[in-house]
Each structure stands twice: as C-alpha cells, then as structure tokens.
Homo-oligomer: A and B are copies of this chain.
Amino acid sequence: MAKDLPHVVVLGAGFAGLTFCQKFRAPARVTVVDQQNHHLFQPLLYQVATAGLSATEIAVPIRSVLAKKKLTEVIMDQVTAIDLGAKRVTLTQQTLDYDYLVIAIGGVTHYFGHHEWARHALGLKTLDDALAIRQRILCSFERAETESDPAARRRLMTIVVIGGGPTGVELAGTCAELTRRVFKRDFRHIDPSQARVVLLEAGPRILPTYPPDLSQRAKEQLQELGVEVWTDAPARHIEAGRVHVDAVVLESENILWGGGIIAAPLTRRLGVKLARDGRIVTEPDLSIPGHPEAFAVGDVAEAMDARSGQPVPGVAPAAMQMGKHVAKLIAREIRSGPRPPHERPAFRYHDKGPMATIGRSRAVAWIYYKVKLSGFIAWLTWLLVHLVFLIGFRNKAVVLLEWLYAYVTFRRGSRIIYARDMEAGRADRATRQEAEVSVPPQKTTAP
C-alpha cells in the first residue's frame, strides 16, 4: 500500500463512518477502526430484540462491505486515546498517525445518571443488548409456563418499557404482538393474551418530537395492540423486578429501557468543547474547532443544520449525510489543497421527516414535515424506506422474505434461546435472589 499517500483514519463503522468510507474517493489511504467486526442496521434492532429477525440479518461484516475499496483497511480494535495535537490515535495493539481524522464513535445507552439501573432495565444499543432482551422475554414465558404461583407468573408475563420515544414505541408494539398474538398457539398452561405490556413516558405524550395528533394516533394504535400507555409517568426508581412510578409499583421480570443515548465516553478525554450528553461541538463544516483536519459525524457530533439553524437530530439519515458531507470535503481538500474551515461548505441536513413503527402493520410518519401518515400506509412507507437503506443485497432479500413470512403466518422464526442465554438467565435469577426475591434456582445437570 502506497505509504506516501495522505492517511485518513475513521473511528467507528456505524452509519456515519461506513457512509464516509463508501462515499470517499480520493488518492488516499483510509483506515477504519471499529471494536466490532460488523456494521449494524440499528433501526431494526428492536426486531431482533422481539425475535422478528435473527441477529445476522441486520448485521454485515465491515470487511465485506469495503472489500472492493483497495486503499481502505479495516482494523477490529478498541480506541484507547486520541491526541488531536499530535494527530495520533492509540489502539490496544498499535498507534495510527493521520492526516485527516473522522470521529464517528456514536453513543451509548444513557440512564440519566442512574448507572445502577442498567442492571435491572435492559438497554437496546448493540446486537448483544438485543439478544439479551430476547432471551429475557423468551425465558420469562418459558418459566411462566411451569410457574404455579399466580403472582410470580404475572411478574414473568409483564413487560415494562421505559421511554416513549421511537425506540420505546417500537419495542412496546412488537412486544405486545409477540406475547399476545405469536405466543398464543404455543403455550398450554399460561394464556399469553393475559400478558401485560406497559409503556412509561415521563412527559404528557409519547413521541414528543412529533405533532400532537400523530402522538395521539400512535397511542391509539398501541392500545389496539393491547399496550397500556402511561403518560406523565416518570420512572422514579428501578430495582430488581420493580419500577416505581411515583406511588405505583410495577412488578415485572422484563424491564426494558427505551431511554436516551449519550456520546461515547471517549469524548470526555479529547480536551475539546462538548455539548449536552458529551457530544463534540462542531464548526458548520463538521470539523472540530481548532483542528481543521479532524471531524465529528453522527451521534457523537453536536452540529447545527445550516439550512434550519436547528441542531441536527441523532438519527440514521443525518449520520449518513454527515459521513457523505465530510467524505466529499476531505476528498476535495486532498485534490485541491486545504482550505480554512470558514471557507468550506457548511453541512445542510435534508430532513425527510420522522417515522416510527408500531408493530405489524401500524406506523406514524410525518413526510417532509408536511404529510402526516398513520396506520398501514405509514407502515408500508416505513418498510420501503428501510429496505432501500439496508446495506448489502443479502440482508435486503432475506429481511424482506422474513417479514413477508412473518406477516402472512404470524410466526416468529428467531425464537431460539441459546444455552448461554440460559446461563445469563440463571445469573439474573441469582442476582434477584440477592435482592431477596424468591425464585427457585435451576440446576445445570443433564440431559
């Protein structure tokens, strides 16, 4: 590989980082670093959590996506330090000197300062998070089937989703479908239609960034699926198997966290200006103030949209557009020489409007902030948009097939509990026993 070419280092292969690599065309070496070997299609993660898709259907190896980019190298490793002054990135196995840096390390689940809640309320940010939620729900219903104590059975069959944003709404909707409709044929002793799904929203309405009438439609569609939607219901305290909502205590073995995201913790050690939630405040061109050769894109960036003057939201389309913007910008500089940040083009976000699904054939969408859609037509729109954006042919075809099949038959193809999931389940139970809630332990003996 030509060592004398400029070197671009990209940290993270989420939507922003991967789009950068795909759109970047210039005589330069590119090194992309990610701690995973795969790119994850996060908007469908809730489908893995609720056994609608299998994990490999929404993930694709980064090496495969970039195999044809001969000047691009993929390293699976963790970033331990970034020295913006020395233009050097340290990994656990090596250091990388760069001419241009693209920080696209994304975010982590945010428990609003209550780290201890992470033990009891499962977040949804990685494939492992999704598999953990799936095993929790599947194992709970398996345990409910043989549980003779009615109170314990109710606790096992109750799912509480905290947070009424898009993630919480999607999770609650598919959980209701899975437990109340898909499971219906499978169990003999319990009645899955007695399963309870509660969605908790601290504010006065779910989907608070949507117009009030769409929030209302979303709420009605969730209720049609059997979800209890509690608004003005902040979770004050979470412990093992219990959520305290002011005076009310919800007992549940399946507490899911649909709350917020903050920037990956590494940003705190950069020595640059950070915004709320640790995001890196960028110049209009997405470069980092004082470091014109370093950029922040995606969920890790606090950027202003030059079009609207509003902060760019933390959604996949915005991340992809930021990646593309910086790819073009750096390519132009490499070809035509550097320019100061204020002479570079500012990032303009093309916002097609928000959309969220609510289960099998329901959704709400606000196309270009003009056309409001809800119900089946909104769901079809959502389906088409997501299929178009899915990266890699294989996934697109298989996901379509899975969805069609699930839609026609109401079966769930991915309701598989791995043995190590059971191990995790046992660990959970051990934890709960520490908390002095009596659930009988299971032995690990054969068959």
Q: Which residues of A line the B interface, CB within 8 A?
A: 1, 11-12, 33-38, 54-57, 59-61, 63-64, 67-68, 73-80, 92-94, 105-106, 108, 126-128, 131, 138, 142, 145-146, 185-189, 264-266, 394-395, 397-398, 401-402, 405, 411-420, 422, 440, 442-447
Interchain CB contact under 8 A, B11 and A105: no
- Could you say which of B93, B128, B186 contacts A61, with CB atoms under 8 Å apart? B186
- Could you say which of B12, B79, B418 contacts A131, with CB atoms under 8 Å apart? B418
Q: A447-B11, A447-B12 are in contact. Are A138 and B266 (CB under 8 A)?
A: no
Q: A37-B142, A397-B401 are in contact. Are A185 and B67 (CB under 8 A)?
A: yes
Interchain CB contact under 8 A, B188 and A445: no
Interchain CB contact under 8 A, B186 and A415: no
Interchain CB contact under 8 A, B56 and A414: yes
- Could you say which of B56, B188, B397 contacts A73, with CB atoms under 8 Å apart? B188
| Minimum distance in angstroms from A112 CB to a CB of chain B | 19
Interchain CB contact under 8 A, A420 and B128: yes
Give me 20 A-to-B residue pairs in the complex whose CB atoms sit less than 8 angstroms apart, sorted by A's number.
A1-B188, A11-B447, A35-B447, A54-B56, A55-B56, A55-B418, A56-B56, A61-B186, A61-B415, A63-B186, A67-B186, A76-B417, A79-B446, A92-B442, A126-B419, A127-B416, A127-B418, A127-B419, A131-B418, A397-B401
> Across chains A and B, which 8 residue pairs bring their CB atoms closest together, nearest first?
A105-B447, A63-B186, A54-B56, A67-B185, A76-B142, A61-B415, A37-B417, A56-B414
- Could you say which of B34, B108, B411, B443 contacts A92, with CB atoms under 8 Å apart? B443
CA distance A61 to B188 in the complex (A): 15
Chain B residues, CB < 8 A from A440: 92-93
- Could you say which of B79, B395, B415, B418 contacts A64, with CB atoms under 8 Å apart? B415
CA distance A68 to B409 in the complex (A): 14
Chain B residues, CB < 8 A from A94: 146
Chain B residues, CB < 8 A from A138: 37
Chain B residues, CB < 8 A from A78: 442-447
Chain B residues, CB < 8 A from A34: 447
Interchain CB contact under 8 A, A416 and B61: yes
Interchain CB contact under 8 A, A416 and B64: no
Interchain CB contact under 8 A, A146 and B186: no
| Minimum distance in angstroms from A107 CB to a CB of chain B | 10
Interchain CB contact under 8 A, B418 and A128: yes
Interchain CB contact under 8 A, A416 and B55: yes
- Could you say which of B59, B77, B394 contacts A405, with CB atoms under 8 Å apart? B394
Interchain CB contact under 8 A, B446 and A266: yes
Interchain CB contact under 8 A, A443 and B63: no
Chain B residues, CB < 8 A from A264: 446-447
| Minimum distance in angstroms from A328 CB to a CB of chain B | 24
Chain B residues, CB < 8 A from A145: 75-76
CA distance A79 to B420 in the complex (A): 18
Interchain CB contact under 8 A, B188 and A36: no
Interchain CB contact under 8 A, B417 and A36: yes
Task: Output the nearest chain B residue to A441 by Cβ-Cβ distance.
Answer: B92
Question: Which residue, A74, A412, A445, has most C-beta atoms of chain B within 10 A?
Answer: A445
Task: Output the nearest chain B residue to A80 by Cβ-Cβ distance.
Answer: B445
Task: Output the nearest chain B residue to A66 by Cβ-Cβ distance.
Answer: B186
Chain B residues, CB < 8 A from A442: 77-78, 92-93
Interchain CB contact under 8 A, A187 and B63: yes
